[in-house]
Amino acid sequence: MVPKISTLSGYIFEYQKSITNPTGFWANIAETFYWRKKWDQVLTWDFKKADVKWFLNAKLNITENIFERHLFHRGNQTAIIWEPNDPNDATVKLSYFELFDKVNQFALILKQQGIEKGDRVAIYMPMVPELAITMLACARIGAVHSVIFAGFSAQSLADRIIDAGAKLLVTSDGGYRGSKTIPIKQIADEAMESCKCVKTAIVLKRTNEPVTMKPGRDVWWHDLTQQINGTIEAEIMDAEDPLFILYTSGSTGKPKGVVHTIGGYMVYTAYTFRNVFQYGDGDIYFCSADIGWITGHSYLVYGPLLTGATTLIFEGIPTWPDAGRFWEIVDKYQVNQFYTAPTALRSLMAMGMKWLDGKHLTSLKVLGTVGEPINEEAWHWYHDHIGKNRCPIVDTWWQTETGGIMISPLAGIIPTKPSYATLPFMGIRPAIVDQEGNELMGNSVEGNLCIAYPWPGMARTIWGDHERFRETYFSTFQNLYFTGDGVKRDEDGYYRILGRVDDVINVSGHRMGTAEVENAINEHPLVNESAVVGYPHAIKGQGIFAFVVCTEFSTGGEEGVRNSILVGVSKFIGAFARPDKIVFVKGLPKTRSGKIMRRILRNIAEGQYTNFGDTTTLLDPDIVTEIVVAAQKLG
Ligand code: WT7
């Protein structure tokens, strides 16, 4: 088991050690895992080339660190608790033994379907235990999984499958989300039409929707699992072999396939999980994130299972059958650590206190948040009404690319401050730099958040495009990893994340590039061009405001085009990327060189209609007045 820090002085001591001797520090943590062969060297790195390697030439299989390492002591302990969408349906509990069996079985099936070490397997599934089983089965045989969030459209799914060159897709007939049924297989079918690389689709029966099974390509999960059973030797992998690809958005239109490798990711997710949440033996841990995002990968599946924890997977949504669902689950399973997103808290807070009636919440010890800045009001509501003033809140800052938590309190150890992610985790060296890249030393400073030294959990590349990896993260500031976030370090040295400083927006914890949404809008035949910005939204954190230029409107008028834009965005990306506000304008505020001045649009989206600063570089300054009038009309 990885060591657990349990006092503030312990944190200060370990942090110092991790900074003065990072390789010695991480080697000690790594020693607590099971390696088939230990490393020849702990770390080599060159931020100029974006080249980072941890635990060189070490050999292992991550699933042996989940199963073989734990089975002897905790084979009968529950590994996964699954709470179905409908609270009246039966819970599933899988012990480490049972999970091991299922992972082996599915690993054998993947092998039988021709999946070899290094092949990519795409996964497009609802939140069911089989999703975690598929990921672990891939890891067992050395295949690279690429989970695509089930809210993505057929087009987005196809783009990701093609980019990764996945040979096999694991999906389901449908999925439940509250009162809705999602036709997952139908969406997958549409995606597969354009993916020549996918030779096989394994389909789990979840909703019993009628689906078409394409002969020679589609096979039922239950047919395969009826035929095969047994164990499979874990494939021996290099520490730097890829474990998975996970797509995320950046400031350009094309999503990036972030690649995480096995050894470093394993060490980092397990160590952060144990220390940030202060997970102890027998605790029940519940993270409400979807496995389709990095939080689900690192803190629903890998971190907890590597720690021998009991992790709760919830299929449904926080507001169904009613807004007390999370709290009902906490009481039902006596959850000890609960990890969620600020947007979920804000939406529950807005639905009123009555959903807390009759809920005890006495089992809770630690509360966590992730994905976006948490406002003070939501923080206090969480602290007072959910944590009953007894549970520390860990506001965890990190990213898909960082693999694991980077800045966060250790629960109950580092004193918290509302809306502050507080202090860096072991081995993390934050650097705050100004626009010119000068590091701002000392306290009470604000600027761009960078990380000055490698950590084991960091992404190693972008699938198929290392140059893009280098350019995106390592070229803005010399010798630093640039996060894209703004940050403040206050008088006590505490970090507060201020949000993105690039063209990335964060809507209900979903990260997207403004360019991605613009591309989807521009697909509309009547749209000439568009510009998308984020604006403060009471529940979602940020809402999407789209400024759209159309030369003409069809018979449906503005309303007609607005609706078909929304349909189009759902089709190209997914419903979660639909703009909250669409305003039709005659033109966009552009400089003479053709660059859109987004600052002006952001001001207008925020309802600030005057004081635009210097607008003399604009090609047509009058356009601003016209946009203001149009935006005011929209309200
Ligand atoms: C971006 C990363 C990390 C898993 C979920 C999101 C924002 C994340 C916090 C936080 C303020 C946060 C940042 C970051 N973010 N956590 N605790 N406080 N902002 O992963 O989709 O890769 O997004 O989310 O802007 O850059 P992601």
Mutate to test the pocket of ligand 1, among 393, 399, 448 (most ligand atoms within 8 A of CB): 399
**What is 291-320 written as a DSSP string?**
TTSHHHIIIIIIHHHHTT-EEEEE-S-TTS
pLDDT at 614 over 90: no
Residue 255 Cβ contacting ligand 1 at under 6 Å: no
Residue 404 Cβ contacting ligand 1 at under 6 Å: no
Q: What is the mean pLDDT of the chain?
A: 96
User: What pLDDT, on the 0 to 100 scale, is given for residue 315?
Assistant: 98
User: What pLDDT, on the 0 to 100 scale, is given for residue 618?
Assistant: 87
From the centroid of its chain, how far is CA 376? Answer: 23
pLDDT band at 621 (very low <50, low <70, confident <90, very high): confident
d(Cα 376, Cα 349) in Å, to the nearest integer?
Answer: 13
Helix, coil or strand: residue 76: coil
**What is 36-52 written as a DSSP string?**
SB--SEEEEEETTTTEE
Three-class HEC string of 433-458: ECCCCCECCCCCEEEEEEECCCCCCC
Give the tens place of pLDDT for each residue, 418-452: 999 999 999 999 999 999 999 999 999 999 999 99
Cβ atoms within 10 Å, residue 173: 23
pLDDT at 556 over 90: no
Mutate to test the pocket of ligand 1, among 372, 416, 481, 495 (most ligand atoms within 8 A of CB): 372
User: What pLDDT, on the 0 to 100 scale, is given for residue 118?
Assistant: 98
User: What pLDDT, on the 0 to 100 scale, is given for residue 612?
Assistant: 85
Residue 294 Cβ contacting ligand 1 at under 6 Å: yes
Give percent of the chain with pLDDT exceeding 90.
93
From the centroid of its chain, how far is CA 78? Answer: 25
CA distances to 101, 153, 217, 301 from 188, in Å? 28, 9, 12, 24
CA distances to 480, 550, 628 from 586, in Å? 42, 7, 11
d(Cα 274, Cα 282) in Å, to the nearest integer?
Answer: 13
Mutate to test the pocket of ligand 1, among 290, 302, 422, 511 (most ligand atoms within 8 A of CB): 511
Q: What is the pTM of this model?
A: 0.95
CB-CB contact of 401 with 258 (8 Å): yes
Give the tens place of pLDDT for each residue, 350-388: 999 999 999 999 999 999 999 999 999 999 999 999 999
The H or E element spanning position 541 is strand 541-550
Q: What does the pLDDT average to over 514-531?
A: 94
Closest CA to 398 of 266, 286, 294: 294
Q: Which atom of ligand 1 is nearest to the CA of 408?
A: 17
Structure tokens at 529: 């061009």
CA dihedral 41, 52, 244, 231 (to 10 degrees): -10
Q: How far is the CA of 205 from the centre of ligand 1 (A)?
A: 33
208-222, 317-331, 590-604, range with the lowest pLDDT: 590-604
Residue 115, class by beta-carbon neighbours within 10 Å (0-12 exposed, 13-18 middle, 19+ buried)?
buried
Residue 396 Cβ contacting ligand 1 at under 6 Å: yes
User: What pLDDT, on the 0 to 100 scale, is given for residue 251?
Assistant: 77
CB-CB contact of 409 with 367 (8 Å): no
Mutate to test the pocket of ligand 1, among 288, 458, 506 (most ligand atoms within 8 A of CB): 506
Residue 373 Cβ contacting ligand 1 at under 6 Å: yes
- Angle, nearest 10°, between helix axes 514-522 and 557-572? 120
Q: What does the pLDDT average to over 39-68?
A: 98
Q: Which atom of ligand 1 is nearest to the CA of 396?
A: 17
Sign of CA dihedral 315, 317, 318, 319: negative
CB-CB contact of 407 with 414 (8 Å): no
Instruction: Please count the residues of the chain.
Output: 635
pLDDT at 624 over 80: yes
pLDDT band at 285 (very low <50, low <70, confident <90, very high): very high
CB-CB contact of 323 with 351 (8 Å): yes
From the centroid of its chain, how far is CA 372? Answer: 11
User: What pLDDT, on the 0 to 100 scale, is given for residue 254?
Assistant: 85
For ligand 1, atom 5, name the residue with the nearest CA.
371
pLDDT band at 554 (very low <50, low <70, confident <90, very high): confident
Q: Which atom of ligand 1 is nearest to the CA of 405?
A: 3
Q: Which atom of ligand 1 is nearest to the CA of 504?
A: 25
Domains in the chain, CATH or no CATH each: 65-235 (3.40.50.12780), 504-634 (3.30.300.30)
CA distances to 131, 143, 291 from 296, in Å? 11, 19, 4
Closest CA to 387 of 352, 345, 333: 345
Q: What does the pLDDT average to over 497-524?
A: 93
Q: What does the pLDDT average to over 117-134?
A: 98
Q: What are phi and psi of 402, to 5 degrees?
A: -85, -15
Residue 399 Cβ contacting ligand 1 at under 6 Å: yes
Long-range CB pairs of 344-348 (<8 Å, 24+ gap) are: 344/288, 344/318, 345/369, 345/374, 345/378, 345/381, 345/382, 346/375, 346/378, 346/538, 346/539, 346/541, 347/318, 347/319, 347/539, 348/318, 348/319, 348/323
Q: Which atom of ligand 1 is nearest to the CA of 395?
A: 17
d(Cα 429, Cα 414) in Å, to the nearest integer?
Answer: 17
Mutate to test the pocket of ligand 1, among 485, 488, 504 (most ligand atoms within 8 A of CB): 485
**DSSP secondary-structure letter at 608?**
-
For ligand 1, atom 10, name the residue with the nearest CA.
397
Residue 248 Cβ contacting ligand 1 at under 6 Å: yes
Partnered with residue 366 across adjacent β-strands are 337
d(Cα 162, Cα 55) in Å, to the nearest integer?
Answer: 31
User: What pLDDT, on the 0 to 100 scale, is given for residue 438?
Assistant: 97
d(Cα 344, Cα 355) in Å, to the nearest integer?
Answer: 14
Q: How far is the CA of 290 from the centre of ligand 1 (A)?
A: 14
Q: How far is the CA of 559 from the centre of ligand 1 (A)?
A: 34
pLDDT at 252 over 80: no
